[in-house]
Amino acid sequence: MKITISINGKREQREIEPSRTLLELVREDFGLTGTKAYCHSGICGACTVLLDGAAVSSCSLLAAQADGADVTTIEGLAAGTTLHPIQQAFIDHFGFQCGYCTPGMVLLTKALLDEVPEPTREEIVRYMGGNICRCTGYAGILASVEAAAKALSGEIPAGET
């Protein structure tokens, strides 16, 4: 079947097998391998993408279901060579260890801060608890999210998180 999908702001048409997931489409057809495959069950959050702005697991969604939607992957956040303030905050606060969960964590942070610009620590934990870091580097991730919120709200200048 033919689908039309906007990936990171670029409108694309593809002929796809209906049995393929959005995760497979993004990685294999578009070569956007920043979206990670792991549990294939909607549990771990490594394959998180934004679908019309909402965080979803791309493994548990058919590509056909995303027909007509706007999809944002980790590759869509930076402006050229300038990192998105959330990405910069994750670097500044050591918000990753092996890095496998990081694309999902960064995109989930984007969804959270779009919804709640100044979340409390408890709100961050509740919202993001479903994305799993198997290195257990959660303290760094929490610090990164808090710093990103401050950078995005202008409390501290971008690049100085």
Instruction: Name the site residues for another protein (rule: CB under 8 A).
Output: 1, 17-21, 40-43, 45, 48, 51, 54-57, 59-62, 64-65, 108, 111, 127, 129-132
The distance in angstroms from the start CA to the end CA of the chain is 46
Angle at 111 between CA 114 and CA 121, to 5 degrees: 85
Between 56 and 86, name the residue whose CB sits nearer to another protein: 56
Closer to another protein at the Cβ: 16 or 156?
Answer: 16
Q: CA 38, 41, 45, 50 torsion: positive or negative?
A: positive
**Closest separation in Å from C-beta 61 to another protein:** 5
Tell the smallest beta-carbon distance from residue 144 to another protein (Å). Answer: 18
- Which CB sits closer to another protein, 54 or 91? 54
Least Cβ distance, residue 59 to another protein (angstroms): 7
Distance CA 161, CA 45 (A): 25
Q: What share of the chain is helix, strand, coil (3-state, %, to 5)?
A: 40, 15, 45
Q: Which is nearer to another protein, 126 or 153 (CB)?
A: 126
